[in-house]
Amino acid sequence: MPVMELSPSELKMGLRTGRITVAVYGIGHVGASILAAWLLAGARGIGVDKDEGKVGALNKGESPVNEPCLSEIFGKAKLEGRLYATSDGKEASAKSDVKIIAVPSMMADGKPDLSAISSVAESIASGLKRGDLVILESSVPPGTTRYLLKPILEEKSGLSLGEFGLAYSPERISEGRALRDIVESYPKIIGGVDERSGEIASILYSVISKRGVIRVSNELVAEFEKLAEGVYRDVNIALANELAILCRKLGIDYEEVAKAANSQPYSNLHKPGTGVGGLCIPIYPKFLIWKAKSVGFELNLTSTARGINEFMPKEVAELVREGVSRLGLKNPKIAILGLSFRGDIGDPRLSPTYELVKELLSMGFENLVVQDPFISEDEKLSSMGVRLVNDMEEILGADVVVISTDHSIYKMSVSELFSMSEKIRLIVDGRDLMEVDRIPAGRAYVGVGRPWRFR
């Protein structure tokens, strides 16, 4: 019986016993983790992706992405005959009861680029059956589910909403702990385009999420909620960056200020840094800024915060230039530590390190190397003529070391890093990550929110 026609008890039992099949469109870090969560709950799963490498990995019971626990879950489900992958979206739609869209949404030329969602919607519609449920999990501007996805599904399938279900449920994960976030960390937000869709999606996800479900009044609320989470982070990181710069200019340590301020329960000063990367926080404010303009409203605070965070790579590059000038270094070799947009993962998408490299190159610093223990190759750096290395030994010939990513491996004392090589003259701590202790003679240290220290 179609999922939209099942009772709550039948839905839960059907999921747990593998009578419900879910197809996940897009099996990157987000989609693969969503698929694993449904498999863990007992469902049959179909992974759908245009990347044949990811499809091949999943068909061997292997994870197409580096996320904890996924390979074990996929391997077990494959042995039990509950999992396969395909690049044929129509076939997956025809063979599944629930279809989940987890492909990226981006900005292009100042507007949201939802082309991947539109393409997937067409393939789903071509196999959509009466009583199926479609759930969008990609982060999108408010109105996307109702005004983009719904018309495509209806027009291409010949069905009307009510004959199939449609809901929005934002993914709420961080790389490196994605499955845990889905299953254990946070409640699942559900908004249906109609009442029945919201009800069915909520019942199904109540089996998957140990933290339960928060069902909001409609999908517009759920779409907005997801973006609001990211804007909150972006605005507060911008505040941290602005206060950190002022602290440095006043000769005081932002980290000391933040620690004292955050002892008060209503204060939660964030960490400053080289910038904000990844496909989430830098994109979500722009979705809302664009949407606000469409109704004649300006999100001034959100826009200002985004501008501050986009300025930070230039701020760090200026610290490098100032330090090089103060120390009288000629044609220095500069080692940038970290390409990943966040610590202890191997994902460079929209990393502020790229902008930092561009700024340094524009200033005439051509002898650059980037070190990251989690990434071995990068076409974007190669196109700029900059080497990427894994081994920390490669930085020992550098005159200047710049910390751009907060990898755990970089968390050490200033004296410890200086002791690694007599050649290192300047440390620019773009994450205020290091313990500031003794500065050897003839060397210097500065952090984004920390004053200059010379010996």
Active-site pick, 78, 226, 291, 333: 226
Question: What burial class does residue 447 get, using C-beta atoms within 10 Å of its C-beta: 0-12 exposed, 13-18 middle, 19+ buried?
Answer: buried
CA-closest candidate to residue 306, choices 282, 273, 280, 274: 282
226 in catalytic set: yes
280 in catalytic set: yes
SS3 per residue for 19-58: CCEEEEECCCHHHHHHHHHHHHHCCEEEEECCCHHHHHHH
- What is the Cα–Cα distance from 4 to 366, expressed in whole angstroms? 61
Axis-axis angle for helices 29-41, 195-208 (nearest 10)? 80
Question: What burial class does residue 348 get, using C-beta atoms within 10 Å of its C-beta: 0-12 exposed, 13-18 middle, 19+ buried?
Answer: buried
Q: What's the longest Cα–Cα distance across the chain?
A: 77
- What is the Cα–Cα distance from 324 to 284, expressed in whole angstroms? 36
Tokens of 402: 């710049």
- What is the Cα–Cα distance from 374 to 276, expressed in whole angstroms? 18
What does the radius of gyration of the chain's CA atoms come to, in whole angstroms? 24
- What is the Cα–Cα distance from 341 to 352, expressed in whole angstroms? 7
- What is the Cα–Cα distance from 392 to 371, expressed in whole angstroms? 7
Active-site pick, 12, 54, 150, 280: 280
Q: Specify whether the CB–CB gap between 90 and 121 falls below 8 A.
A: no
CA 358 to chain centre: 22
Do the strands 111-113 and 106-108 form a parallel or antiparallel pair, or are they unpaired? antiparallel
Which residues are part of the catalytic machinery? 226, 280
